[in-house]
């Protein structure tokens, strides 16, 4: 992993505010790309995956399942829409995208090999919240029966989840910060959005 980027507190707050769009564009990209790819995404570990890099999954399933919040504008001019569940409500989310809104929060599931997490992701931090952890014991096996054992297991599972999100974010940034973003990726996302519009009209 490259060196931590250390800032004075005031400079940190400015940078966080100034680059809020990165989290929003990442979440939006992640949602659309997961839909385009039938919920299957290839990933590779970042340097920060550490020891778990050896067992890092090469592919995951990811889907946004509820409570998408999309926003545009700032402060008093901010406009947001929240769509609770897929189906016709997702059509409202697609319309919001067409009107320039970006995804700021969503409830999603991530499945890697035999593990599945439920989580909420918010664009301003990209830290998993309200996590539902995978069950890691097979039928007939005993669950960790000490409080510390369960805690350590959760830390390990959270580390895996955080590493997967970092890998996805890294993938996004490599595209977003290249000329490929405007030349290829945005047109690809727009084509998908157009297809959704045509589905409604059918």
Partner 1 sequence: MTRYRVKEEPPETLTDEYISERLLKNSFIDIEDAPEEKSLGWVEFLDHLGTDFNPATYRFGGILVFTLRLDTRRLAAKTVARYYAISEVQYQQKTGRRPNSLAKKELKEAVKSQLMRRALLNTELMEAAWLFKENELWLAATGEKRRETFEELWGRTFGLSLQMLVPATLGLELLTGELRKALLDSKSSPIWLGR
- Binding residues vs partner 1 (CB under 8 A): 1-7, 12, 15-16, 18-23, 25-26, 28, 46, 48, 50, 97-100, 102, 123-129, 147-148, 151-152, 155, 158-159, 162, 166, 169-170, 173-174, 176-178, 181-182, 186, 189-190, 193
Q: Which of 85, 25, 37 is nearest to 62 (CA)?
A: 37
Interhelix angle 147-176/20-36, rounded to 10 degrees, is: 90
Nearer to partner 1, 77 or 138 (CB): 77
Nearer to partner 1, 113 or 174 (CB): 174
Q: How far is CA 169 from CA 13, 59, 172, in A?
A: 21, 14, 5
What's the DSSP call for residue 58?
S
Measured from the CB of residue 37, what is the shortest distance to partner 1 in angstroms?
17
Nearer to partner 1, 114 or 145 (CB): 145
Measured from the CB of residue 184, what is the shortest distance to partner 1 in angstroms?
13
Measured from the CB of residue 167, what is the shortest distance to partner 1 in angstroms?
9
Q: With the C-alpha atoms ordered 87, 90, 94, 99, is the resulting torsion angle positive or negative?
A: positive
| Total Cβ atoms within 10 A of residue 56 | 17
Is residue 182 helix, strand or coil? Answer: helix
Measured from the CB of residue 140, what is the shortest distance to partner 1 in angstroms?
27
């Amino acid at each position: 992993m490259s060196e931590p980027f250390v800032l004075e507190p005031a400079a940190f707050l400015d940078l966080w505010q100034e680059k809020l769009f990165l989290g929003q564009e990442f979440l939006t990209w992640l949602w659309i790309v997961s839909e385009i790819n039938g919920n299957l995404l290839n990933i590779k570990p970042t340097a920060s995956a550490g020891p778990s890099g050896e067992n890092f999954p090469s592919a995951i399933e990811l889907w946004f399942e509820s409570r998408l919040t999309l926003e545009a504008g700032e402060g008093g001019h901010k406009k947001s829409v929240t769509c609770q569940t897929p189906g016709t409500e997702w059509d409202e989310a697609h319309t919001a995208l067409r009107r320039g809104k970006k995804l700021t929060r969503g409830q999603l599931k991530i499945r890697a090999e035999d593990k599945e997490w439920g989580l909420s992701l918010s664009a301003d931090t990209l830290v998993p919240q309200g996590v539902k952890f995978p069950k890691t014991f097979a039928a007939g096996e005993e669950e960790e029966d000490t409080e510390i054992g369960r805690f350590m297991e959760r830390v390990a599972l959270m580390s895996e989840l955080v590493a997967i999100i970092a890998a996805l974010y890294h993938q996004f940034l490599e595209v977003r910060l290249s000329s490929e973003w405007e030349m290829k990726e945005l047109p690809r996302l727009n084509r998908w959005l157009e297809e959704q519009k045509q589905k409604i009209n059918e």
